[in-house]
Chains A and B, each alone.
Chain A
Amino acid sequence: MALLRASQKALRLLLCAWGLATSAAAGAEVAASEYAVKAAFLYNFTKFVDWPPRVFTDERSPLKICVLGADPFGKALRSFMDEEVGGRRLQLLRVDTLNNPAACHVLFVSRSERDRLPQILAAVRGAPVLTVADTPEFLDDGGMVNFVLEGGKVRFEIDPEAAERSGIRISSKLLALARHVKGRP
């Protein structure tokens, strides 16, 4: 048994090493592939998140994903817009100012808006909008989901209470995958 564990550990280390090596070799493509993964994650988040029904006008009304600030995804996010989640089409919106942030269901705040974070988050506070970003202090500022890089791999951390306060329920399955869940050890 000990031997088995040891070998599993060795395997895992080996895989990590391989992952690092490939990411190092990929070099220039890292940023692009990183945001491709993040785009997929963003898309997948919608499957593990429940919005209060009132945010949709009807059964078929689209699920709106808004990107605030400079769009780092390129085509990666757009490629998911043909998909449907729970019978709803995905709709990608680019927003610069937050006139009506409650019109979005998912709000990705780009790094370009890093300085305005408190204002942005304040604007959507209380509205059922899943806020996502990839800035380290995002959760502390009141954000809900934040991407982190761990060993070159895209991971995320979640503040489920922040989500609940605005009426959004995040699936425990998603929480189980999070690197860090705020409020939990």
Chain B
Amino acid sequence: MPLRNVPIRQKLMLIALVTTGGTLLFAGAALIFFNAERFRQEMKVDLTTLAQIVAQNSTAALSFRDRTAAAETLHALSARQPIVAAGLYEKNGRLLAGYQRRPGVKLPPRPARDGVDFGADGLVVFHPVELKGERIGTVYLRSDLSELTARIEVQALTVGTVFLASGLAALLLSSRLQRLVSRPILDLSQTARAVSERQDYSLRAAKRGGDELGQLVDAFNQMLGQIQQRDSALQEAKEELERRVEERTRELARRNEELHQSNKELDDFAYIASHDLKEPLRGIHNFSNFLLEDYADKLDDEGRSKLETLGRLSRRMETLIDSLLQFSRLGRVDLAMDRVDLNEIVAGVLDSLAITLQEEKVEVRIPKPLPKVRADRARVGEIFANLIVNAVKYNDKPQKRVEIGMKNGSLSAGSPVFYVRDNGIGIPEKHHDAVFRIFKRLHGRDKFGGGTGAGLTIVKKIVERHHGRIWLESSPGGGTTFYFTLQEET
């Protein structure tokens, strides 16, 4: 695992251990090195001192060239373990006496320059022997390095023990102390993870002190607080919005219900009123007929003419009431929805209008076959019948034309749009809405064959009961096209 991916806890301990270990190792090595160096200096001083003593004790033996006395003096060195060889040289360089700890140890044949120095085979000293200010010979001493080696070994052992012990102590201490730093970071990291996993902004990281980590925790917690505030504000706004939408929807539904209710009441009223009006109206009509038939000889021409007008007006009123009844019935009865073939329906309508169409010399065109749709067969027939009759009725052209069809591409793109087009007189734009109002007629009562003015109102009602829409394109003299759909537009 690369060092940067090691957990922070282990990183901190590693830092402590490496620092402690490195420092100890360096200090230990320096200690051993400087101690060894000091001991070497001490060894030099010691050996020189020893050589000096030997020199002092050898003056007489050298002066009188007494080998035995010289050998005895040197032999005293056997008490000093590290001295492996010693020699006394006369002034002229001849060896007077020698000492070897072990046989086979060689003495230099002649003394070298005075001085003490470490050589390949130990510490060697050549020391002058002087008497009364005069040089009379040289002392040679050689010490092995066993003491130095032993000392270095002991120190290395000590340093090693200290190293291990303090390493252990550092491990224990750092494993406890690292928590000072790692705990807040781990806490922070855990809190951050919990916040993002649970989306819970009410969580807070625990603060353990006023250091930079404490400040970090504070900043983190402040940030969480701000997020929490915004989150709750957002939540509130959302709830408020939902509440309002619900309120409006309820309000709308209530109004719709009210509207529906009042519509129904109106329909009921219209039906009842017209139904109940028909009975006395028929009486008026009948009795005006009775008067004409039974009292014709007693009436003058003017009386007869007024009675005829009375009969005509009552008939007209009856037609109006019938239209009103038909219209109000449309709002009351349920549609008989079925899958119907529009070609069949249009053909039926044209059949029933065949005589009129022949008399008026109307050219009816159906450019493309019409589709099958879900609709109320009888009511859709009424739509086409009314529109075709209007197309023929409001037409002053010698060659009257009516085209029935479906707008191009309207099948694939949602609800199909059907149309009935004529080359009639057209309708000024300002009247485009008015034509659908009940009993609204744009022309004189007997112009264009008369009528109640309820046809388009009924058509509109049927279209709307199918959840469709009806509109028109027209201009005076340019003919009129009525468009409509028979289902909810998507």
What B residues does A4 contact at CB under 8 A?
103
Task: Please indicate the chain A residues that have their CB under 8 angstroms from the CB of B57 in the complex.
Answer: 173
B63 CB → nearest A CB, Å: 4
Q: Is A13 in the interface zone, CB < 8 Å from B?
A: no
Flag whether A118 is at the interface (Cβ < 8 A). Answer: no
By the criterion CB–CB under 8 Å, are A87 and B133 in contact? yes
Contacts of B63 in A (CB 8 A): 44, 47-48
Are A177 and B60 closer than 8 Å at their CB atoms?
yes
Q: Count the A residues whose beta carbon is within 8 Å of the partner chain — how many?
A: 16
Q: Are A47 and B61 in contact (CB under 8 A)?
A: no
Mask of A1-31 contacts with B, CB within 8 angstroms, 1/0: 0001000000000010000000000000000
Question: Hey, what's the 0/1 contact readout for B51-71 against A, CB within 8 Å counting as 1?
Answer: 000000101110110110100
- Chain A residues numbered 162-182 whose CB sits less than 8 Å from any CB in chain B: 171, 173-174, 176-177
Q: How far is the CB of B59 from chain A (nearest CB, A)?
A: 6
Interface pair A173/B59, CB less than 8 Å apart: yes
Q: List 15 A-B contacts (CB under 8 A).
A: A4-B103, A15-B67, A44-B64, A48-B59, A48-B63, A83-B134, A85-B132, A86-B132, A173-B57, A173-B59, A173-B60, A174-B60, A176-B69, A177-B60, A177-B61
A48 in contact with B133 given A176-B69, A177-B66 (CB within 8 Å): no
Q: B93-134: contact bitstring with A at CB < 8 Å (1 yes, 0 no)?
A: 000000000010000000000000000000000000001111
Interface residue from A15, A48, A84, A87 paired with B60 (Cβ < 8 Å): A48
Residue ID in chain B nearest A12 by CB atoms? B68
In the complex, how many angstroms separate the beta carbon of B264 from the nearest chain A beta carbon? 144
Q: How far is the CA of A176 from the CA of B59 in the complex (A)?
A: 11
Closest 4 CB pairs of A and B: A173-B60, A44-B63, A86-B132, A47-B132
Smallest beta-carbon distance B129→chain A, Å? 12
14 more A-B residue pairs beyond the given contacts A176-B69, A177-B64, A177-B69, with a C-beta to C-beta distance below 8 A: A44-B63, A44-B64, A47-B63, A47-B131, A47-B132, A83-B134, A85-B134, A87-B133, A173-B57, A173-B59, A173-B60, A174-B60, A176-B60, A177-B66
CA distance A47 to B64 in the complex (A): 11
Nearest CB of chain B from residue A181's CB, rounded to whole Å: 13
Interface: A41 (CB within 8 A): yes
Interface residues in B144-190 (C-beta closer than 8 Å to A):
none
Question: Which residues of the partner chain A approach B103 to less than 8 Å between Cβ atoms?
Answer: 4
The B-contacting residues of A in range 130-185, CB under 8 angstroms, are: 171, 173-174, 176-177
Specify which chain A residues have a CB less than 8 angstroms from the CB of B61 in the assembled complex: 177
In the bound assembly, the distance between CA atoms of A41 and B64 in angstroms comes to 6
Shortest A23–chain B CB gap in Å is: 15
Q: Are A86 and B69 in contact (CB under 8 A)?
A: no
Q: Which residues of B contact A48 (CB under 8 A)?
A: 59-60, 63
Q: Within the assembled complex, what's the spacing in Å between the Cα atoms of A87 and B134?
A: 10
- Most B C-beta atoms less than 10 A away, residue of A44, A85, A86, A171: A44
Q: Inside 8 A of B64's CB, which chain A residues have their CB?
A: 41, 44, 177
| Per-position binary interface string of chain A over residues 80-97, scored 1 when its CB falls under 8 Å from any chain B CB and 0 otherwise | 000111110000000000
- C-alpha spacing A87/B132, complex, angstroms: 8
Nearest B-chain residue to A83, judged by Cβ? B134
Chain B residues numbered 15-63 whose CB sits less than 8 Å from any CB in chain A: 57, 59-61, 63
B431-452 interface mask toward A, CB cutoff 8 Å, 1 = contact, 0 = none? 0000000000000000000000
Nearest CB on B from A157, distance (A)? 13
**Contacts A4-B103, A177-B66; is A86 near B133 (CB within 8 Å)?**
yes
CA A48 to CA B226, docked complex, whole Å: 106
Residues in B whose Cβ lies below 8 Å from that of A41: 64
In the bound complex, how far is the Cα of B132 from the Cα of A86, in angstroms? 5
A171, B60: Cβ atoms closer than 8 Å: yes
Bound together, the chains give a CA A83 to CA B59 distance in angstroms of 17
Taken together as a complex, chains A and B put the C-alpha atoms of A48 and B57 apart, in Å, by 12
Chain A residues, Cβ within 8 Å of B59: 47-48, 173
Q: Which residues of B contact A87 (CB under 8 A)?
A: 133
Chain B residues whose CB sits within 8 angstroms of the CB of A86 once the complex forms:
132-133
